[in-house]
A and B are shown apart, each in its own frame.
Chain A
Amino acid sequence: AQRVTQPEKLLSVFKGAPVELKCNYSYSGSPELFWYVQYSRQRLQLLLRHISRESIKGFTADLNKGETSFHLKKPFAQEEDSAMYYCALSGSGGSYIPTFGRGTSLIVHP
């Protein structure tokens, strides 16, 4: 079974502070990991995926297979980063159902 754990329900930081949203996963095969974001009154949308190894809006995430983690990081948080963040896993080999964590609410204070 595949599982995604986001241990923090809420993360509150001040503008300019570093941010790290934690994500741990459980999957026996080779996973595809994603971060989705939901801004206030907007639909859930993809932020980034591990396979593309890109930085989106200053956010990066590295897949650590040894620690089965895919933490989302940003060196300097901005107020517009305030949103709900979901880590998701999509398995390979026939198990393509995106499985989501419970989400972390990020609040960036001015």
Chain B
Amino acid sequence: EAGVTQSPTHLIKTRGQQATLRCSPISGHTSVYWYQQALGLGLQFLLWYDEGEERNRGNFPPRFSGRQFPNYSSELNVNALELEDSALYLCASSQDIPMGNTEAFFGQGTRLTVV
């Protein structure tokens, strides 16, 4: 069974540009989470999508946005890139949430570098 896949692996952008990151969850998983992993800050929650809807977002500006497609894959868009956006962006998926006791499966991440 294929795990969570993210593309691209690496992305280099110039300040002010837009970046699009993609995530394919494990088959059967309807929830997708996006995290930013910046050096020394751990995993900061960005966005949560479930059944095509944005369910919650973390404490990030509106230029961080995304969507989930009917096949449950997801896109993260970052507009007006700033140098501080350079980080590893992780996507995780989980099954439909029954009781909250759900393991999250992570992708390898997209390393975004803003120059």
- B72 interface contact, C-beta 8 A: no
CA gap between A51 and B90 in the complex, in Å: 25
Instruction: Collect the chain B residues with CB atoms within 8 Å of residue A98's CB.
Output: 33, 45, 92, 104
Assess the B45–A49 pair: CB atoms within 8 A. no
Instruction: Collect the chain B residues with CB atoms within 8 Å of residue A9's CB.
Output: 40
- A20 interface contact, C-beta 8 A: no
- A44 interface contact, C-beta 8 A: yes
Interface size on A, residues (CB 8 A): 24
Assess the A44–B106 pair: CB atoms within 8 A. yes
Number of A-B contacts (CB under 8 A): 56
Assess the B103–A92 pair: CB atoms within 8 A. no
Interface size on B, residues (CB 8 A): 25
Assess the B101–A51 pair: CB atoms within 8 A. yes
- A70 interface contact, C-beta 8 A: no
Assess the B45–A97 pair: CB atoms within 8 A. yes
* A49-B103, A90-B100 known; A43+B43 contact, CB < 8 A: no
B93-105, CB under 8 A of A: which get 1 and which 0? Answer: 0000101111111
| CB contact between A96 and one of B42, B102, B105 (< 8 Å): that residue | B102
Assess the A43–B33 pair: CB atoms within 8 A. no
Assess the A46–B103 pair: CB atoms within 8 A. yes
Q: Which residues of A contact B (CB under 8 A)?
A: 6, 9, 32, 34, 43-46, 49, 51, 86, 88, 90-93, 96-103
Sorted from nearest, which 7 A-B pairs have the closest CB atoms? Answer: A102-B42, A100-B43, A92-B100, A44-B106, A32-B101, A96-B97, A46-B103
